[in-house]
Chains A and B, each alone.
Chain A
Amino acid sequence: MSAVLAVADHRRGALRDVSFELLAAGRELADALGGEFHVAVIGGDVESFAEELNREGVDVVHTVDEGEEFNHDVYVQAVEALCEEVDATAILSPNSVNGLDYAPAVANGLSIPLVTDAIALAYEDGLEVTREMYGSKVETTVEVDDDRFFVTIRSGEWPAVEGRGDASIEPFEFELDESAVGSRVQGFEEVGEGDVDISDADVLVSVGRGIEEEENLEIVEALADALDATLSASRPVVDNGWLPKNRQVGQSGKVVSPEVYIAVGISGAVQHVAGMKGAKTIVAINTDPNAPIFDIADYGIVDDLFEVVPELTEQFE
């Protein structure tokens, strides 16, 4: 029997959305392998999490009542023990910050190959994983030459499973080796509180790496003023300290869903898109016609932002 074991992500009392997408990827792979689909949830209110994870296609939910929040040492031990218990062929987790904090350790410990950030999976004689390289400029397929493997999946690539299931819910107990726990979570901090909340704005003018220099921000500030819009940014602008963290749109920043989102000099890396794809109308201004931002844009101008933005500002003044 080739079981697939998927490990759900949760934080501060709630399962993360990608956990339900993980259920779709896991069921798909379990069908291809001809095996059962097991889901594990480790820490927190495992019983209520298990109820929520009992969705269509899940055979068993294992609850591991160990700690409140994610701790990688606990996850490593629990997943390795569970993997042995269910004789898992495949382990899946979200390609999240926490996924990347324990999946490589588990794969290394079990001496099985790891493929991260999968956007599609196919299984015939062996596993074939589709993933991106070179900053999303190419897609690749990777064949896994082993009959066991760990794969982390990118959020937003599988549909979230909705329908209720009839899984059996089984508490899993294992002896935690406390001496191997060398990290302790002390707490959480919200970042990005400040003068404006970009998630409230109807119109966002968002600026990215294409702006090149801090002095050049002026031209997008002028556009935002003329449009009566709020200024936001992609990660590189914030990393450079040109705008505060509360202006950052993306996976690690704010998720926004304005009426209109104008992306200026933003290529549209997957982490950025995760934060703004909910915008009703997306406008992109970028010199590179192949920039991924154009894949999700409704309107676009392929040109130098330094030429276009001042012209656009003028139209509104």
Chain B
Amino acid sequence: MKVLVTVKEVAEAADDFEISGIEIEEGYLEYDLNEWDDYAIEEAVQLSEQRDDVETVGVTIGPERSEETIRMALAKGIDRAVRVWDDAIERQDLLDVDAKARLLEAVVEAEDPDLVLSGVQANDDSFGATGVALARQLGFQWAAVVNRMELSDDDTIANVRRELEGGVEELTEIDMPAVLTIQTGINEPRYASLRGIRQAQSKEIDVQSLDDLGLGEEAVEGELDLTSMYEPVSESDAEIFEGDPDETAGKLAAVLQEKGVGAQ
């Protein structure tokens, strides 16, 4: 069977940063593999280790810089990688959910996987919607916020556990092919080994343009425009203790003792 994993390189803002227009200034951003996707990669790699008929393919939508991230997926054991990029994508300041789903749909049609794994959300734009939209676009089944998955022996059913709010989990069976969006905590993502990293450097990444995918520019024209970005106004009225650690700890201890904390 074939498992496709969607991987996103996300930008993380430093503790202190500046905004210029509708972007955080580049110097304050660090790029990394999206945390949720790391768990999706691990789930796919574990599946390929448990069985000998599994091929895993990572797909990312991103500029050349993001090859570093998709190579991380290769270093962790994903077999092949596809990167989708195009000038028309670059021109979008916010690629909307349906545009992402259309791009990924074209890759899924070319690859024909039995299972697509995707992180629940991306930590930069936090839409949390691409996986389910992709499933609908493909006519696949799906499950969102999955923290356990087991496939039936004949690969026709995925038994999943969905993490609901308040410590309740839902057990559901899903017909395959399916898209599952993976929650953190489902497994323990591995670190890439030095050998894995070296091998990943020499692997070819299959770069696909809109044209290659048989799509026109209209495929990425969305209906959402980012119009402003600002730092939220802090509503804090916290009393902040100042001083060296022994002073601040002393002041806090006095407050806590006043509230009866630590009194046996």
Chain B contacts of A248 at CB under 8 A? 167
Chain A contacts of B144 at CB under 8 A? 97, 100-101
The complex places the Cα of A97 from the Cα of B239 at a distance, in Å, of 35
> Interface 1/0s, chain B 188-199, versus A by CB < 8 A?
100000000000
CB-nearest residue of chain A to B222: A113
Is chain A's interface secondary structure helix, strand, loop, or mixed overall? mixed
On whether the beta carbons of B168 and A107 are closer than 8 Å, the reply is no
On whether the beta carbons of A134 and B171 are closer than 8 Å, the reply is no
Which residues of chain A (205-248) have a CB below 8 Å from chain B?
Answer: 226-229, 235-236, 238-241, 245, 248
Chain A contacts of B262 at CB under 8 A? 226-228, 316
On whether the beta carbons of A255 and B166 are closer than 8 Å, the reply is yes
Q: Does any Cβ of A come within 8 Å of B205's Cβ?
A: no
Q: Give the total of A residues in contact with B, Cβ under 8 Å.
A: 97
On whether the beta carbons of A252 and B166 are closer than 8 Å, the reply is yes
Chain A contacts of B185 at CB under 8 A? 235, 238-239
Q: Does any Cβ of A come within 8 Å of B111's Cβ?
A: no
Q: Taking A105-B136, A290-B15 as contacts, is the C-beta distance between A138 and B24 under 8 angstroms?
A: yes
Chain B contacts of A189 at CB under 8 A? 161, 168-169, 171
On whether the beta carbons of A308 and B231 are closer than 8 Å, the reply is no
On whether the beta carbons of B172 and A103 are closer than 8 Å, the reply is no
Which one, B97, B174, B228, contacts A182 given CB within 8 A? Answer: B174
Which one, A95, A109, A192, contacts B136 given CB within 8 A? Answer: A109
Which one, A146, A245, A287, A312, contacts B223 given CB within 8 A? Answer: A146
Q: Does any Cβ of B come within 8 Å of A191's Cβ?
A: yes
Which one, A107, A187, A283, A296, contacts B171 given CB within 8 A? Answer: A187
On whether the beta carbons of B136 and A104 are closer than 8 Å, the reply is yes
The complex places the Cα of A303 from the Cα of B143 at a distance, in Å, of 41
Chain B contacts of A107 at CB under 8 A? 97-98, 129, 133
On whether the beta carbons of A188 and B249 are closer than 8 Å, the reply is no
- Chain A binder among B47-55, B72-80, B253-261: B253-261
Which residues of chain B (100-128) have a CB below 8 Å from chain A?
Answer: 101, 120, 123-128
Min CB gap B94→A, angstroms: 7
For the complex of A and B, list the 8 residue pairs with the smallest distance between their C-beta atoms, beginning with the closest.
A311-B249, A315-B253, A239-B185, A104-B132, A104-B129, A182-B175, A182-B141, A307-B245
